[in-house]
Structure 1
Amino acid sequence: MKLGAMAATLAAAWCMTGCAGTPTADDGYQPTTAAGKQLARVARGDHRSDANIARNQYRHPVQTLQFFGVAPDMTVVEIWPGTGWYTEILAPYLRDSGTFYAAGFSLRSVTVPEYRERIQREYVAKLRDNPGVYDRVKPTAMGPPEDWRVAPENSADRVLTFRNVHNWIKDGYASLVFDGMYEALKPGGILGVVEHRAKPGTSLDAMKASGYVTEQHVKLLAARSGFEFVESSEINANPKDTADHPEGVWTLPPTLRLGDKDRQKYLEIGESDRMTLKFRKPAG
């Protein structure tokens, strides 16, 4: 493709997700690369709700995906996308040149909680109802008893998961999930993990109850599956979060489990303090 045609194609892709304004992320970050600017436009695109865009300030999606080295021509797997907050960014970003697998909750499990079944069905409906953005998403599943292959073996450049490790720990199959993510990655591929961060020394029982996990434990799980730790980032840190709330991480927004009790206090804290960790599947 000639340079002029390539530029026109990229511009059209940006406009599909909203052309107005300078491509500045909602957290104030200003990307300098073409791919970063494309991410910024997608992150506040017209296909996203105002409520989801408002959470960009806490989740820093442009900086996070750049830290994980996600490029638009890669094969990327998102583990447990939930309601699709990150899918709204990844799917259009990868749509034209890349491949995107969305490994949702396994509905074949007899023990899947009702709320996860409901979320997964709503997620599938979300993909179906907006084909202009989601028609090329490849849905797969992750969960017991048998859904551990989220993508073809050694096929993914990146496997990403956001705020899910605490669930796997509580459910008792974290090691199996990390094994499955390792299998999906190409040699040299990157695993990106964002997770609510517990204070060092927090017990496993406290992690299960609170939803906060220590960095040491995440690194241990990754190492057991064969991953090498690469580096961490404080992109998603929140120093206001003391990680010791009465209803765990769900005390904070967006859940606000205490309702109106101390609501303003928790709104002022914002979303949880989060680790952002990068691991690599060894190349040889």
Structure 2
Amino acid sequence: MKWTTSIFALAAFGLAACGGGESEEPAAPETAAPEMAAEEEPTPEVVDPVAGSVAHPDRPADDVEGDERRKPAETLGFIGLEPGMTVIDMEAGGGYFTELYSRVVGEGGKVYMQNPPSFDGFLGDALETRLGGERLGNVVVMRTNFDNLDAPDGSVDVVTWIQGPHELWFEVNGESLGDPEATFAEIARVLKPGGVFVAIDHRAAEGAGTEAGGTVHRIEEEIIRSYAEGAGLVFKSSADFLSNPDDPLTNSVFDPSIRGQTDQFVIAYGKPE
């Protein structure tokens, strides 16, 4: 019968479709390949700008020799410089601190290296040695007296004056280096709101008066405080890491018995925001 033939044909077709009649084991589910752990990026070493500045291999040997008495790490820590800042190094001399500032503020910052024009004879080739070959490319030389700072209003984050405010009462070849009141007004003018002024100087005995600045190169801390406050600056902090209670406070700072070991005050004032 045709119907019977069709049944057998369908059966044969089904067996062929099942692989010759032998049943297959069900396929095992595919197992996902284990994910490879992503390689962790090495954490870049963070170098503290102050430590990096003090330890920089390009610092002159004479600077490094002076570190023990000048305490650069403590000084920079007190000042609070950060990368990108603009700073005026008043009475920078040969640039001991200028170089340290330059390394801390980096390419995005600026350092004004200020000295009065009458210091040219004292400095000799110190500036060329310090800045020659564009070794400190973010440093700008400022040749002005203290009461005529060549910087725009409100453009500076920090002004420092290290071992220098007493020079306001010292004359070079009979000429003043700046009027005290006008000098502090200039410092306040160039500072940004919230900016900081740091003064470090050789301490004079109580009652020595401003004339000590022109004789023994010292000044009373209270005199500098009064001028800062008179310019509208506000006291922030002080430190004693440069103090020496054995200093008689009356010798010239160039006296061999005390040179490099003077008792120095360290104060910071801020410009109100």
The TM-score bracket by the shorter chain reads 0.7 to 0.9
Range 202-211 or range 223-232, more displaced: 202-211
Number of residue pairs the alignment of both structures matches? 227
**CA distance, structure 2, for counterparts of residue 224 and residue 138 of structure 1:** 29
**1:126 and 2:129 correspond:** yes
8 Å CA contact retained: 2:239, 2:267: yes
Aligned with residue 40 of structure 1, among 40, 44, 51: 51
- The 5 Å alignment of 1:66-145 reads 66-105=77-116, 107=117, 112=118, 116-120=119-123, 122-132=125-135, 134-143=136-145
SS of the residue corresponding to residue 139 of structure 1 reads strand
The Cα offsets for residues 113-152 of structure 1, whole Å up to 9 and x where unpaired, read as xxx11345524313442423x12212223317xx713321
8 Å CA contact retained: 1:202, 1:214: yes
Shift of 1:266: 4.3
8 Å CA contact retained: 1:238, 1:274: yes
Counterpart residue type for residue 117 of structure 1: D
**CA distance, structure 2, for counterparts of residue 141 and residue 5 of structure 1:** 47
**CA distance, structure 2, for counterparts of residue 130 and residue 93 of structure 1:** 20
Work out the percentage of aligned pairs sharing the same amino acid. 22
**1:249 and 2:253 correspond:** yes
Shift of 1:184: 0.8
SS of the residue corresponding to residue 83 of structure 2 reads coil
Cα distance change on mapping 1:90 and 1:205 into 2, 3 Å: same
**CA distance, structure 1, for counterparts of residue 42 and residue 197 of structure 2:** 33
Counterpart residue type for residue 64 of structure 2: I
Consecutive unaligned residues in structure 1, runs of 5 or more: 11-33, 257-264
Cα distance change on mapping 1:5 and 1:202 into 2, 3 Å: farther
8 Å CA contact retained: 2:198, 2:266: yes
**CA distance, structure 1, for counterparts of residue 168 and residue 42 of structure 2:** 46
SS of the residue corresponding to residue 250 of structure 1 reads coil
8 Å CA contact retained: 1:127, 1:135: no
Shift of 1:185: 0.3
**CA distance, structure 2, for counterparts of residue 203 and residue 156 of structure 1:** 31
Counterpart residue type for residue 180 of structure 2: A
Aligned with residue 230 of structure 1, among 224, 233, 236: 236
Counterpart residue type for residue 244 of structure 1: T
Cα RMSD, aligned residues only: 2.4
More helix by share: 1
Cα distance change on mapping 1:121 and 1:91 into 2, 3 Å: farther
Q: Which has the larger radius of gyration?
A: 2
Using structure 1 for the length normalisation, give the TM-score: 0.72
Equivalent residue, structure 1, for 2:158: 158
SS of the residue corresponding to residue 204 of structure 1 reads coil
Cα distance change on mapping 1:5 and 1:272 into 2, 3 Å: farther
**CA distance, structure 2, for counterparts of residue 142 and residue 7 of structure 1:** 42
**CA distance, structure 1, for counterparts of residue 237 and residue 204 of structure 2:** 18
- The 5 Å alignment of 1:137-216 reads 137-143=139-145, 148-171=148-171, 172=176, 173-216=179-222
Cα distance change on mapping 1:71 and 1:52 into 2, 3 Å: same
The Cα offsets for residues 224-271 of structure 1, whole Å up to 9 and x where unpaired, read as 2221111211021122322222xx1111xxxx4xxxxxxxx547xx42
The Cα offsets for residues 82-104 of structure 1, whole Å up to 9 and x where unpaired, read as 01111121112223232212222
8 Å CA contact retained: 1:150, 1:181: no
Shift of 1:50: 2.8
Range 50-59 or range 121-130, more displaced: 121-130
**CA distance, structure 2, for counterparts of residue 139 and residue 5 of structure 1:** 41
**CA distance, structure 2, for counterparts of residue 206 and residue 86 of structure 1:** 25
